[in-house]
A and B are shown apart, each in its own frame.
Chain A
């Protein structure tokens, strides 16, 4: 759907895809470091750019059942984490429409 350049972010610290260095998020957009993914520590972000979003799937997490979608790097297609669409438990609602990126798949970029 038309030509676009990838997004380039501005911030004091910019996280990119470790494989291809595509900009994904900034430290200012980070909400929490206290998450765990398949590869260890993971971060919760308010907003992430340059990703494609997969199909909905229901997963049982340590904090309960959620409807999530996998997210991939728009350039190299690496699976980077997931997006929360829906949390069944009231205490977990804050995650809805937020994004998880796995720390081990990120790198600092400029």
Chain B
């Protein structure tokens, strides 16, 4: 928890004085016994439900409100609420305890601790130790060595169960100055935040029913917001979620409509890649050209201009890989074994790089802009400088690289591909290829998975070139992308699956199914502001869109013609715009339908209706779900 979330701003320290001390009526009627002045006006509500069928406890709810009022600068309203409801935020001795800790009155603190009633002896011991530790450090800080020694011997030693901790504490006796002490103890002194930190630490041993965790109501509301954000299947708008209504993004705001068809290539389009500024789209085609398209900034699909900017010719073979430099001034293309470096503004080829001995499958710029990486079927992984000189040629990879990428944090390089030849030379049938035999017209050979070559995912430490993780899988791997937070990789996996890997744990987190993929290089991408979506091409000619955290298949978008949708790319700047490319020679731009299309307007209204109905039907469930949620950052993956 951040320091800023620590308990009680200075104003509330005085406010807590009210808590049992300020108003005699409140103390006397603190939920225990009625005073001579009669019960508070609201006490008849005690033990009644908050509302009909509400599962929220009235006492808890009112305490949250009292705390929230106090924390937000309304101590008088808080006191009024305490008086009217007859509930106190906390019992008088809790307030006294808090006061004592913040004032450094250690004997008082220990004294009131007795009344708080820690049931568990071990919790009591740990709490006593923490209090004495603070007391000891503060004495040392004041250069009161003799009393500190007494604390060490008389309190810390008996309450400690960790000899090492005790030794390190006693070694602090040798500190030359208060400054030295604070440095070595990593402690910011009596005048710093240390007493509040102590209070927060101690709080973990005290039941929340006795001593409320700090800023509890805002914490719950943040959880509610995070929950709604996660539940929003079509979340494309980067908006602050209001607490006043349930948040939802409508499907009508999702890019489900083809707004432009880019038809300039004369053969299959195999890959698309957006520039970092989102204004240019590069496409790679079997027609041996790459095209840079300018995609206008206009927001209305009708007004948006999409035009051919540059056609990059002179490739001897189909173009397979694309990469934009970080400033979008350079576009890299690969065709067979040759990498070409193009000036994206002029469309002039600046350099040809011929260091691969087999087709180059993948190109990606380093996140720090210091150069780029190429990977090939020759198992080479090469790090290049921006001027096209080799900076680092890695030892041959254990796989023929079908695709690779670098995590945005610059720590990992993830490569996918086929097992190295000699390693799988076992039986006479070990070399039978999977799938593509049919496409080459060779015949009907259908090797079983056991006889097909193994595939691997290799995760490298980019800086040390060490293999951090090698995962062997069965089935063709054709594409890999890493999420913006560098944690997840999506990998296309034939047949018919896209896999989400957690790179931290090295585990398969989720499988997305529905799309068709058997023989071809099909690629996927993340989409949405927080990579909430996974999109993939498919051999059935559709674009598939899933919700990443639930695996729900959101959309199967038809439109492309005969053949595969080979690759997809979500625009890095627009909230809801992506491109797909297909064997049908075209690229499609997908956007949210503009207002005024009757079908989608009706859909918007239906969506609102659906949400109203959901809300009406599930108030209790929402209350429970929000209240019992995790820290607000938990994810289902």
Binding site for B on A (CB under 8 A): 1-12, 14, 26, 28-29, 47-53, 74, 97, 110
The interface residues of chain A lying within 8 Å CB-to-CB of B519 are 2, 4
Complex CA distance for A10 and B421, rounded to whole angstroms: 4
Interface string of B340-372 (1 = CB under 8 A from A): 000000000000000000110100000000000
A14 CA to B431 CA, complexed, in Å: 10
Q: A28 contacts B359, CB within 8 Å?
A: no
Q: Which residues of B contact A (CB under 8 A)?
A: 268, 270-271, 286, 318, 320, 358-359, 361, 377, 400, 402, 418-425, 427-433, 436-437, 439-443, 445, 453, 519-522, 539, 563-564, 566, 583
What's the dominant secondary structure at chain B's contact region?
Answer: loop
Task: Flag if A3 contacts B428 (CB, 8 Å).
Answer: no
Residue ID in chain B nearest A22 by CB atoms:
B358
Q: How far is the CB of A31 from chain B (nearest CB, A)?
A: 10
Q: Is B431 a contact partner of A74 (Cβ separation < 8 A)?
A: no
Contact B437 A49 (CB under 8 A): yes
Residues of B within 8 Å of A7, CB to CB, are: 433, 436-437, 440
By a CB distance below 8 angstroms, the chain A residues around B539 are 2
> Is the beta-carbon distance between A2 and B425 smaller than 8 angstroms?
no
**A3 to B522 alpha-carbon distance, docked (Å):** 8
Q: Provide the bound-state CA to CA distance between A55 and B602, in Å.
A: 56
Contact B421 A110 (CB under 8 A): yes
Complexed CA–CA distance, A3 and B420 (Å): 22
6 new A-B pairs (CB below 8 Å) besides A2-B563, A11-B425?
A: A2-B521, A2-B564, A3-B268, A3-B286, A26-B431, A28-B428
Nearest-Cβ distance from residue B304 to partner chain A, whole angstroms:
28
A29 to B427 alpha-carbon distance, docked (Å): 10
Q: Which residue of A lies closest to B452 (CB)?
A: A10
A-B interface, 4 closest residue pairs, ranked by CB to CB distance from nearest: A2-B520, A10-B421, A3-B521, A28-B428
B56 → chain A closest CB, angstroms: 56
A5 and B419 contacting across the interface, CB-CB below 8 Å: no
Choice from A10, A50, A97 contacting B431 with Cβ under 8 Å = A10
> In the complex, which residues of chain B have a beta carbon less than 8 angstroms from the beta carbon of A4?
436, 439, 519-521
Q: Are B430 and A2 in contact (CB under 8 A)?
A: no
Q: How far is the CB of A109 from chain B (nearest CB, A)?
A: 10
Partner of A47, one of B422, B432, B520, B563: B432
B421 near A8 (CB under 8 angstroms)? yes
List of B residues within 8 angstroms of A10 by Cβ: 419-425, 430-431, 453
- Which B residues lie within 8 Å of A50 (CB)? 440
What DSSP secondary structure best describes chain A's contact surface? loop
User: Which residues of chain A come closer than 8 Å to B564, judged between CB atoms?
Assistant: 1-3
Complex-state Cα separation, A88 to B66, whole angstroms? 97
Across-interface contacts of A8 in B (CB, < 8 A): 358, 377, 400, 418, 421, 453
Which A residues touch B421, using CB under 8 A? 8-11, 14, 110
What are 10 inter-chain pairs, A to B, with CB distance below 8 A?
Answer: A1-B520, A1-B563, A2-B564, A2-B583, A3-B270, A6-B359, A8-B421, A10-B419, A49-B436, A51-B441
Contact of B430 among A11, A97, A110 (CB under 8 A): A11
A9 near B433: Cβ-Cβ < 8 Å: yes
State in angstroms the CA–CA spacing of A4 and B566 once bound together: 10
Q: For residue A110, which residues in chain B have a CB less than 8 angstroms away from its CB?
A: 421
Residue numbers in A under 8 Å from B320 (CB-CB): 3
**Residue of B whose beta carbon sits closest to that of A49:** B433
Contact of A74 among B418, B420, B440 (CB under 8 A): B440
Tell me which residues across on chain A come within 8 A of B436, comparing CB atoms.
Answer: 4, 7, 49
For the complex formed, measure the closest distance between the CB of A46 and the CB atoms of chain B, giving whole angstroms: 8
B520, A53: Cβ atoms under 8 Å?
no
Q: Complex Cα distance A26/B427, Å?
A: 11
Chain B residues, Cβ within 8 Å of A3: 268, 270-271, 286, 318, 320, 520-521, 564, 566
User: When the two chains form their complex, are residues B445 and A5 in contact, meaning their CB atoms are under 8 A apart?
Assistant: no
Q: How far is the CA of A27 from the CA of B471 in the complex (A)?
A: 29
* Docked CA distance A14–B425 (Å): 11
Known: A3-B521, A3-B566, A6-B359. A47 touches B442 (CB 8 A): yes
Assembled-state Cα–Cα distance A4/B55 (Å): 59
A-side contacts of B400, CB under 8 Å: 8
Minimum CB–CB distance from A85 to chain B (whole Å) comes to 10
Considering the chains assembled together, what is the distance between the CA atoms of A12 and B358 in angstroms? 20
Given contacts A2-B539, A2-B563, contact A28 B429 (CB under 8 A): yes
Shortest Cβ gap from A39 to chain B (Å)? 22
Q: How far is the CA of A99 from the CA of B375 in the complex (A)?
A: 33
Distance between Cα atoms of A4 and B268 in the complex (Å):
12
A29 near B428: Cβ-Cβ < 8 Å: yes
Question: Are A51 and B453 in contact, CB atoms less than 8 angstroms apart?
Answer: no
Contacts of B437 in A (CB 8 A): 7, 47, 49
In the complex with contacts A10-B421, A10-B424, A5-B563 CB distance below 8 A: no
Residues of B within 8 A of A11 (CB): 421, 425, 430-431
Partner of B427, one of A2, A28, A48, A97: A28
- CB-nearest residue of chain B to A98: B443
Contact of A5 with B566 in the complex, beta carbons under 8 Å: no
B425–A47 touching, CB < 8 Å? no
Q: Which residues of B contact A6 (CB under 8 A)?
A: 359, 377
Cα of A29 to Cα of B564 in the assembled complex, Å: 32
Given A8-B400, A10-B421: A2 touches B268 (CB 8 Å cut-off): yes
| Contact A52–B431 (Cβ < 8 Å) | no
Q: B602 to chain A: closest CB distance in Å?
A: 37
Note all chain A residues with C-beta closer than 8 A to B440. 7, 49-52, 74
A51 proximity list for chain B (CB < 8 A): 440-442
A100 to B: closest C-beta gap in Å? 14
CB neighbours (8 Å) of A74 from chain B are 440
**Residue contact A52 to B453, C-beta cutoff 8 Å:** no
Q: How far, in whole Å, are A29 and B563 apart by their CA atoms in the complex?
A: 32
Residues of B within 8 A of A52 (CB): 440-441
Instruction: Report the minimal beta-carbon distance from A101 to chain B, rounded to whole angstroms.
Output: 13
Q: How far is the CA of A6 from the CA of B521 in the complex (A)?
A: 11
